[in-house]
Amino acid sequence: MTPAHGSGVSVEGGVDLDTPIARAARAAMTVREPESGDWPRPSRCRVMSVANQKGGVGKTTTTVNIAASLAMHGNRVVVVDLDPQGNASTALGADRTEGVRSIYHCLVEGEDLIKVAHPVADIPNLWCVPATIDLAGAEIELVSLVARESRLKRALGAYDTSEIDYILIDCPPSLGLLTVNAMVAAEEVLIPIQCEYYALEGLGQLLRNVELVRTHLNPGLAISTILLTMYDGRTRLASQVADEVREHFGELVLDTVVPRSVRVSEAPSYGQSVMTYDPGSTGAVAYMEAAREMAVAGAAQ
Interface residue list for ligand ATP (CB under 6 A) = 55-61, 83, 85, 87, 173, 229-230, 258, 260-261, 264-265, 268, 283
Q: Which does 154 bind (CB under 5 to 8 A by kind): Mg ion, ligand ATP, none?
A: none
Residue from 41, 46, 54, 59 in contact with Mg ion (CB under 5 A) = 59
Q: Which stretch of DSSP H or E encloses residue 222?
A: strand 222-231
Q: How far is CA 201 from the centre of its chain?
A: 22
Q: Which does 265 bind (CB under 5 to 8 A by kind): ligand ATP, Mg ion, none?
A: ligand ATP
Nearer to ligand ATP, 159 or 287 (CB): 287
Nearer to ligand ATP, 75 or 261 (CB): 261
Contacts with 129 (C-beta within 8 Å, 6 or more apart), sequence order: 78, 79, 80, 81, 102, 103, 106, 113, 116, 117, 118
Nearer to Mg ion, 87 or 102 (CB): 87
In the complex, least distance from residue 83 CB atom to Mg ion, rounded to whole angstroms: 5
Nearer to Mg ion, 90 or 256 (CB): 90
In the complex, least distance from residue 60 CB atom to Mg ion, rounded to whole angstroms: 3
Nearer to ligand ATP, 158 or 242 (CB): 242
Residues 86-105 that bind Mg ion (CB under 5 A): 87
The answer to whether the CB of 75 falls within 8 A of the CB of 165 is yes
| β strands within 19-153, DSSP E | 46-50, 77-81, 118-119, 126-129
Of the candidates 66, 68, 69, 56, the one whose C-alpha atom is nearest the C-alpha of residue 93 is 68
In the complex, least distance from residue 71 CB atom to Mg ion, rounded to whole angstroms: 19
Query: What is the 8-class DSSP label of residue 161?
Result: G
Nearer to ligand ATP, 150 or 282 (CB): 282
Instruction: Confirm or reject binding of residue 60 to Mg ion (CB under 5 A).
Output: yes
3-state secondary structure of 160: coil
Of the candidates 262, 258, 261, the one whose C-alpha atom is nearest the C-alpha of residue 291 is 258
Q: Which stretch of DSSP H or E encloses residue 11?
A: strand 11-12
Report how many residues bind Mg ion under the rule CB under 5 A. 3
Contacts with 231 (C-beta within 8 Å, 6 or more apart), sequence order: 195, 238, 242, 257, 258, 259, 260
In the complex, least distance from residue 16 CB atom to ligand ATP, rounded to whole angstroms: 35
Of the candidate spans 56-64, 66-74, 125-133, 214-222, the one that interacts with Mg ion by CB under 5 A turns out to be 56-64
Binding site for Mg ion (CB under 5 A): 59-60, 87
